[in-house]
A = this chain, B = another copy of it.
Amino acid sequence: MRETATRKADVLAALEQQADLWLCTADLAGRPHLIPVSAWWDGTYLAIATAGASRTARNMKVNRAVRVAAGSPSDAIMIDGEVVENSAVDDSAELAGGFAAAVGWDPREVGAGWLFFRLRPTRIQAYRGYDELEGRDVMRDSRWLA
């Protein structure tokens, strides 16, 4: 079983790969939604981009609570987060530059009406199967535990 510090290091390594994540949102009536998304981890926030008309964007405009998965089901990283900001990609040159450099594509080039959402992790858990459920918290209340 990994120590908390090891799990934190593994979480950071996974986020710094800038790989696609799973993003879970819901509308205010409780209808859940889930999509794969490119995400830029800048060390503090996750930035994701999606079409403004998508269910994911509509959910996050009214409901700040999100949950994100990285890794795989057998090496899971679960992130509870909140939406702290959204902005039109065309009005967000700095964010767009960082995002494009990290993930390899630029949301300003894929269509009109795309938005950035900046997500703040509040809780992060890392576990490899049931045997690691104990001690899975590596962040609580937006603070790293190691």
Whether A110 is near chain B, meaning CB under 8 Å from some CB there, is yes
Q: How far, in Å, is A20 (CB) from chain B's closest CB?
A: 3
Q: How far is the CA of A30 from the CA of B58 in the complex (A)?
A: 13
CB pair A34–B22 under 8 Å, yes or no, is yes
| Cross-chain contact B30 with A74 (CB below 8 angstroms) | no
Q: CB distance A32 to B32 under 8 Å? A: yes
Interfacial chain B residues near A15, Cβ < 8 Å: none
Tell me whether A89 is interfacial, beta carbon within 8 Å: no
Which B residue's beta carbon lies closest to that of A71?
B36
Nearest CB of chain B from residue A76's CB, rounded to whole Å: 5
**Judging by beta carbons under 8 Å apart, are B21 and A65 in contact?**
no
Tell me, in angstroms, the Cα distance from A21 to B76 when the chains sit together: 11
In the complex, A67 has a CB within 8 A of chain B: yes
Query: Are the CB atoms of B20 and A25 closer together than 8 Å?
Result: no
Tell whether A36 pairs with B67 under 8 Å between CB atoms, given A26-B31, A30-B28, A110-B130: no
27 pairs of residues in contact across A and B, judged by CB atoms under 8 Å: A19-B73, A20-B72, A21-B73, A22-B22, A22-B34, A22-B69, A24-B32, A24-B33, A24-B34, A26-B30, A26-B31, A26-B32, A29-B30, A30-B63, A30-B65, A31-B65, A32-B32, A32-B33, A32-B66, A32-B67, A33-B67, A34-B34, A34-B69, A35-B76, A36-B72, A36-B73, A37-B73
| A residues neighboring B (CB under 8 Å) | 19-22, 24-37, 63, 65-69, 72-74, 76, 78, 110, 130
